[in-house]
């Protein structure tokens, strides 16, 4: 992979790696009295490994000029592998924390294995590790194809991908050490946050530079979604993580926001993380890979534009629905609730647009598990956005909030929509990028699909049941006007559902492991003998349809 | 400078509303302008093109 960089780029890459390693050394030296020291050494080792990888090929031959006549896919391949690796690890931790709720002794008396530390490893691992790497990989693939232009250089995509994974490692390892700023989906501490800003701005500039080089005058709508994702996540990340460290030698920091403002900023961030990280970018995937795989243009391009502007501008205001019945001013709560309900319109427009695109290609959905992944993802997108709008209504929220219903809702979106559209996109991309006719085993894709679907359904039905039971038990009063059930009573009632949820999660994990294995075998298999003409997903899809 | 809560509420309830309506009108015009139809039709077909090389 280093050989695809020009000589000048290799030297800069070496310089950056050494600078990162030295930065780690400084952090380790400054934080000797703190958990930050561990992170300092970790960064040092990471930078050193990168430097060694670069040095090994530093004086290798220059890449040929003919490289400019093809797209630059090396970092995309690496991003897909990283994404699947994070998926397996983080979903395993997810099953573990689910089991912890049913069997609390699974901590093995280690502080690092307590629920509070493992849970963010799961959430950040799946959202940022699995989802983030998938978004970086697919966005760089889509922007090149739809702009008909190669990435402007070879170094910055690697900086974005490798630097981003350093952030993910710092975040996940920090949670195990107890380093956290206790903000949902933004637990990583200040030094990791500053690093992510550098990486993310590079990502943004890389995307803009590629678009600026485009040969196709119109910017295809999938790019708009990716662009919104990159831009808004930058804004959200910076504003929510404005914090002052206790000292430069300590991992702990305190946010500059106070009281109810802090809560509002946090949930403005938190809900827009769902909106722009987990929705906009993945809609970008949907609008590109679904038409490609179905071999049909999107049903209505105009509708996709309308839903884009609806989603970007409505979502911005919806965050306050996380703070119903709190100290937040009533009108702000109402504002969040109203925008959340209105969001149903652009959300269903996108889901409907995807399903209507498939209208006339249902035989392909039946025969091709990859396309079925995308179809079911669109259905779950519709279901979870309807549920989200419903849960945001204040009186409904009074029943659902703080219960497992919320957890079920998140997983309907995360498993059913985000993960399934990602797997569908990967199964389209992997044979295409590695120049193979099909996946190693179409049967294993089927297994992955049905395990994922069964796991998701078991999970969300368990959480719907437990959530509503919890909510009702917490608000049931006796004739004397006291609460009928203690909290422990409601916890005991959850026991069977927690076991069911662990089982559902386990199904989903097994599916992801099968998917990773299948992709690995595809990558390791012999390249197809016939020279591949054009975009492979199309021929792959027809091959499956024929077969 | 002292900004009262009521002033902020009034600002959000008026200008917040107007700029969203303005945005909506702008988006609707862009989406349904007849001269854009050809561009959009081309865009939605072009992703299905089989060539996998950058244009030069």
Closest CA–CA distance from residue B3 to any residue of chain A (Å): 15
Which of residues 348 through 387 in chain A touch B, CB cutoff 8 A? none
Instruction: Using CB atoms, pick whichever of B9, B12, B50 lies closest to residue A534.
Output: B50
Give the tens place of pLDDT for each residue, A61-116.
999 999 999 999 999 999 999 999 999 999 999 999 999 999 998 888 899 999 99
A531 in contact with B, Cβ within 8 Å = no
Q: What is the DSSP string of A36-50?
A: HHHHHHHHHHHHHHH
What's the CA gap between A247 and A83, in Å, rounded? 34
Closest CA–CA distance from residue B1 to any residue of chain A (Å): 19
Q: What is the pLDDT of residue A404?
A: 97
Q: What is the pLDDT of residue B1?
A: 64
Residue A166, CB-side half-sphere exposure with 13 Å CA sphere: 33
Q: Which residue has the higher pLDDT, A224 or B8?
A: A224
Instruction: Using CB atoms, pick whichever of B5, B9, B50 lies closest to residue A533.
Output: B50
Q: What is the pLDDT of residue A222?
A: 97
What's the CA gap between A288 and A85, in Å, rounded? 24
Interface of B with A (CB under 8 A): 5, 9, 12, 20, 23-24, 27-28, 30-32, 39-56
Cα distances (angstroms) measured from residue A493 to each of A172, A351, A458, A473, A484: 32, 36, 17, 9, 14
Contact residues on chain B for A338, CB-CB shorter than 8 A = none
What's the CA gap between A523 and A508, in Å, rounded? 23
The set of residues, in sequence order, having a beta carbon less than 8 Å from that of A520 and lying 6+ positions away, is none
Closest CA–CA distance from residue B54 to any residue of chain A (Å): 4
Per DSSP, helices labelled H in A299-441 are 301-315, 330-342, 344-358, 362-367, 369-391, 394-400, 404-411, 420-433
Contact assignment for B47 to A292 by CB distance below 8 Å: yes
Pair of tokens at residue A139: 């966005």
Contact residues on chain A for B42, CB-CB shorter than 8 A = 218
Closest CA–CA distance from residue A315 to any residue of chain B (Å): 13
Contact residues on chain A for B45, CB-CB shorter than 8 A = 297
Which of residues 320 through 339 in chain A touch B, CB cutoff 8 A? 329, 331, 335
| C-alpha closest to that of A190 among A48, A316, A30, A17 | A30
Averaged pLDDT for residues B18-45: 93
Segments in chain A below pLDDT 50: 536, 538-547
If phi > 0 it is left, if psi is from -120 to 50 it is alpha, else beta; for residue A477 that is: beta
Instruction: Using CB atoms, pick whichever of A222, A297, A534 lies closest to residue B52.
Output: A534
Instruction: Using CB atoms, pick whichever of B9, B48, B54 lies closest to residue A295.
Output: B48
Instruction: Using CB atoms, pick whichever of B28, B51, B55 lies closest to residue A534.
Output: B51
Residue A118, CB-side half-sphere exposure with 13 Å CA sphere: 23
Q: What is the pLDDT of residue B4?
A: 87
Helices (H) and strands (E) in chain B, counts: 2, 0
Contact residues on chain B for A296, CB-CB shorter than 8 A = 48
Contact assignment for A220 to B30 by CB distance below 8 Å: no
């Amino acid at each position: 992979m280093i050989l695809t960089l020009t000589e000048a780029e290799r030297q800069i890459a070496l310089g950056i790696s050494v600078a990162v390693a030295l930065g780690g050394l400084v952090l380790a030296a400054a934080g000797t009295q703190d958990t930050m020291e561990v992170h300092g050494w970790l960064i040092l080792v990471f930078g050193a490994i990168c430097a060694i990888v670069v040095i090994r090929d530093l004086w290798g031959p220059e890449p040929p000029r003919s490289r400019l006549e093809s797209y630059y896919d090396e970092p995309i391949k690496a991003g897909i592998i990283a994404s699947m690796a994070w998926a397996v690890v983080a979903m395993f931790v997810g099953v573990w924390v689910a089991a912890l709720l049913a069997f609390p002794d699974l901590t093995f008396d280690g502080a690092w294995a307590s629920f509070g530390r493992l849970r963010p490893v799961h959430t950040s691992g799946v959202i940022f590790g699995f989802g983030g790497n998938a978004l970086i990989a697919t966005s760089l693939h889509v922007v090149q194809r739809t702009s008909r232009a190669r990435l402007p250089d070879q170094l910055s995509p690697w900086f974005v991908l490798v630097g981003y994974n350093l952030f993910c490692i710092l975040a996940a390892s920090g949670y195990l050490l107890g380093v956290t700023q206790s903000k949902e989906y933004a637990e990583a501490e200040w030094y990791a946050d500053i690093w992510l800003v550098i990486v993310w701005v590079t990502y943004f500039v890389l995307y803009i530079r590629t678009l600026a080089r485009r040969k196709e005058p119109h910017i295809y709508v999938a790019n708009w979604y990716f662009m919104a994702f990159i831009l808004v996540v930058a804004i959200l990340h910076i504003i929510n993580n404005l914090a002052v460290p206790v000292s430069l030698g300590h991992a702990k920091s305190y946010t500059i926001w106070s009281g109810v403002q802090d809560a509002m900023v946090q949930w403005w961030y938190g809900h827009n993380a769902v909106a722009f990280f987990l929705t906009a970018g993945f809609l970008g995937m949907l609008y590109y890979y679904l038409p490609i795989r179905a071999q049909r243009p999107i049903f209505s391009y105009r509708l996709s534009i309308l839903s884009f502007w609806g989603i970007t501008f409505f979502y911005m205001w919806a965050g306050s629905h996380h703070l119903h019945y709190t100290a937040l001013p009533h009108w702000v709560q109402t504002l969040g609730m109203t925008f959340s309900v209105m969001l149903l319109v652009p959300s269903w427009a996108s889901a409907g647009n995807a399903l209507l695109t498939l209208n006339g290609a249902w035989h392909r959905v039946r025969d091709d598990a990859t396309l079925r992944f995308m179809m079911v993802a669109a259905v779950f997108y519709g279901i979870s956005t309807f549920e989200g709008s419903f849960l945001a209504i204040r009186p409904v929220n009074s029943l659902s909030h703080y219960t497992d219903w919320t957890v079920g809702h998140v997983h309907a979106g995360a498993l059913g929509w985000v993960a399934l559209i990602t797997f569908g996109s990967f199964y389209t991309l992997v044979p295409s990028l590695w120049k193979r006719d099909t996946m190693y085993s179409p049967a294993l894709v089927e297994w992955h699909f049905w395990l994922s679907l069964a796991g998701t359904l078991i999970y969300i039905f368990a959480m719907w049941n437990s959530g509503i039971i919890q909510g009702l038990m917490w608000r049931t009063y006796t004739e004397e006007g006291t609460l009928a059930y203690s909290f422990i009573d409601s916890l005991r009632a959850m026991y069977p559902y927690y076991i069911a949820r662990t089982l559902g999660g386990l199904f989903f994990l097994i599916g992801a492991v099968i998917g990773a294995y299948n992709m690995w075998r595809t990558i390791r298999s012999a390249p197809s003998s016939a020279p591949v003409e054009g975009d492979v997903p199309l021929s792959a899809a027809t091959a499956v349809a024929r077969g | 400078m002292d900004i009262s809560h009521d002033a902020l509420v009034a600002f959000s309830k008026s200008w917040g509303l107007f700029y969203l309506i303005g945005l909506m009108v702008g988006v609707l015009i862009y989406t349904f302008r007849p001269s854009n139809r050809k561009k959009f039709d081309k865009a939605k077909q072009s992703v299905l093109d089989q060539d996998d090389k950058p244009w030069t």
